[in-house]
Amino acid sequence: MDTTIHNIIEGQKTNLSINKQKDIEQKLNVNSSQFKSMLDEAIVQKQNSKPVDKKLMDVCIEMESLFVSQMLKEMRKTIHKENDLLYGGMAEDIFEDMLYNEYALQMSKTANLGIAKTLYDQLSKK
């Protein structure tokens, strides 16, 4: 008797797992077809888009870099240097300016702030 009940329970578990697997496969097929259509649309848009003007884009990135640099400079003003012993004087100020300018340039190149792209879109319209 116990083996019969055990076999029935195991059979139900097997049926449930088969049904779950079929559901998952069906969802994957739907998602993969949606992904394929999105990928095809992106490829078509990429082929239809005009080529990027490298010089203009570089200038737009530099402009964004100036904006970010100004923002970092204002943020740096809020930090008070209390210990005169560790303060490096004018040399440290010059180095910090150069360092933060480089930070701003790298942020503009790698981060997606959107200022450079917006500038490029506006300036490339003819």
Q: What is the pLDDT of residues 31-54, one digit of tens each?
A: 667 777 777 777 777 666 677 788
What pLDDT does 70 receive?
Answer: 92
Extract the runs of DSSP E, i.e. beta strands, from 2-87.
none
Among 119, 30, 31, 24, smallest CA distance to 67 is for 119
pTM for this prediction = 0.54
User: What is the predicted pLDDT for the residue at 98?
Assistant: 92
pLDDT at site 12:
66
Separation between Cα atoms, residue 33 and residue 98, nearest integer Å = 50
Residue 13's pLDDT is 67
* pLDDT at residue number 114: 87
Instruction: Give pLDDT, residue 21.
Output: 73
* pLDDT at residue number 2: 64
pLDDT at position 7 is 65
List the chain residues with pLDDT less than 50: none
The residue ranges of every structural domain in the chain are 1-49, 51-124
